[in-house]
Homo-oligomer: A and B are copies of this chain.
């Protein structure tokens, strides 16, 4: 029974039925009563029937996006939306700030929107089982996992790249060109998140090349914002620290850093090479084109939905997928000057 059937049944237009359902004032009391009676007596909304109520609470999948200004997320959201829709579910999205609590938000959504499952896009890397208690539906961590936490791996799913490894690969590209004084721009080095993980990869690559990491070459932006990245890179350049290359943990931060270096008279890559991780479209159009390790955003979105639906529909247990990033050669790295 659709809204059209109700209209036919009552001999009124579809928009009249709609006005009644939306409680608009411009309908006569008699027609209103007739439409409401037809709705009451019919099975207008199959999902709300008692049978369906019991079998499944709804067809809603929650998407909680933390750190909404991350341009890297836009592509993944698009793919996740498409895949959820194709599977016949409804995506209910909430975007929260980088400092908000995605678990609390997810738990409220689970109840209010009767979610079948949740995809967290961005979140903390150090959950404990107690913290996850309020989430009672299956969930997938997309672009992060529980590296710093204590969850039982069988109790959740995740889709990530190997972040420390990606950072090692990026720094390896700089080492291959002959760089030894390699600076690094991170959000934090101890935030138990992607920033710390990528920083570990940077340190490991240096140590394996026999280079002692130098604290004077580490710039902390305290966020992933372009504005903060610009300030941190400018601060490092002004500090007089001696470096010929920079590894930067995210594309957007690298774009801001290249601007900061240029504004202080250091041209990339002539005076300083820059390499990053993410692979945004935008970074192909800056000058110089950014050399970066691309995250496979489409596959990350697809895998996240696939895993979640497999678990929701009982086809598989939670699982963890690690995808490989791919180097996109740009023009922002070169051998060291001199």
Binding site for B on A (CB under 8 A): 2-3, 14-15, 17-18, 21-25, 36, 39-40, 44-45, 47-48, 50, 53-57, 68-69, 71, 74, 77-78, 81-82, 85, 90-95, 111-114, 116, 136-138, 226, 230, 252, 255-256, 258-259, 262, 281-282, 284-287, 312, 314
Contact = CB atoms under 8 A, between A and B. Distances in A.
Residue among A24, A54, A56, A259 facing the most chain B CB atoms (10 A cut-off): A54
Contacts of A256: 285
A250 B177 CA distance: 38
Contacts of A78: 68, 95
Given A40-B50, A53-B48, A116-B22, A85 B94 contact: yes
Nearest to A37: B54
A301 to B, nearest CB: 12
Contacts of A48: 48, 53
A136 B6 CA distance: 14
A47 B113 CA distance: 10
**Number of copies of chain A assembled together:** 2
A48 B174 CA distance: 59
Given A22-B116, A39-B53, A92-B92, A287 B259 contact: yes
Helix, strand, loop or mixed for chain A's interface?
Answer: helix
A272 to B, nearest CB: 15
Contact of A286 (B25, B93, B284, B286): B286
Given A18-B136, A262-B287, 9 more contacts: A21-B54, A23-B314, A25-B314, A40-B53, A44-B53, A48-B53, A68-B74, A81-B93, A286-B286
A312 B314 CA distance: 39
A263 to B, nearest CB: 8
A57 B93 contact: no
